[in-house]
Structure 1
Amino acid sequence: MIAAYLSLAADGVRLQVRVQPRASHNRLVGLHGDALKLQVTAPPVEGEANAAVVRLLASLVGVPQSAVQVVGGAKSRDKLVEIRTADSTRIATRVAELLARCKSASR
């Protein structure tokens, strides 16, 4: 079963993301409804928060920044992010592992 925050794209995966700009740390904090919740330190000005989201997701899932792109919601906290990869299963598994860590850390 595919999680609600993840969908398969032609050449990778798409993630529904909720972004909290101007946070104290860059990190994945868990889920916000059917979206991954990310906190980034960058302000939502001139694409800075979007760039921080790209850097953070690339780092978390282990892909180059050039493989990550905000494809929807560029001026919104709710974004659609595409990760181009030949191994969609690896990305989905990695995100699920990261979420499990968030949940266990909050207990």
Structure 2
Amino acid sequence: MAILHLKAKPGSRANQLLVSPDGTVTVRLHAPAQDGKANAALRAYLAEVFGTSKSRVELLSGQTAPFKKLALLDINDDELAAVLARHRLA
């Protein structure tokens, strides 16, 4: 299991995972921040990016805040680092 800390930005043009040079993870989501739609979209998008099912992506904290903590239950730390490295900005 890997733990991922990120900042979610709902209401964006498209879903996108960005990792800044300092390691900060930001996920832009097309879904609006209302009635849990952004959190559901976040779980589904991360499941797609990491190649797992959305039931294996758990939101641990940050239900109503932009800063979130998620557990990726089928992903280990090495796999997490590899995916994040592919999304790192130059």
TM tier relative to shorter chain: 0.7 to 0.9
TM-score normalised according to structure 1 size? 0.72
Identity percentage over the alignment? 24
The amino acid across from 2:85 in the alignment is: A
- Name the counterpart of 1:98: 83
Query: For 2:79 and 2:2, how far apart are their aligned partners in 1?
Result: 12
Q: Of residues 69, 72, 77 in structure 2, which corresponds to 1:83?
A: 72
Q: Could you say if the C-alpha distance between residues 65 and 44 of structure 1 is closer, same or farther in structure 2, counting changes exceeding 3 Å?
A: same
Query: For 1:31 and 1:50, how far apart are their aligned partners in 2?
Result: 22
Where 2:20 maps in the other structure, the secondary structure is strand
The amino acid across from 1:43 in the alignment is: P
Query: For 2:72 and 2:15, how far apart are their aligned partners in 1?
Result: 18
Query: For 1:36 and 1:81, how far apart are their aligned partners in 2?
Result: 12
Q: Of residues 1, 14, 19 in structure 1, which corresponds to 2:8?
A: 19
User: Which of structure 1's runs of 4+ aligned residues deviate more than 2 A?
Assistant: 31-35, 92-103
TM-score normalised according to structure 2 size? 0.84
Query: For 1:62 and 1:102, how far apart are their aligned partners in 2?
Result: 15
The amino acid across from 1:97 in the alignment is: A
Q: Which has the larger radius of gyration?
A: 1
Tell me, yes or no, if structure 1 residue 72 matches structure 2 residue 65.
no
Structure 1 runs not aligned, ≥5 long: 1-11
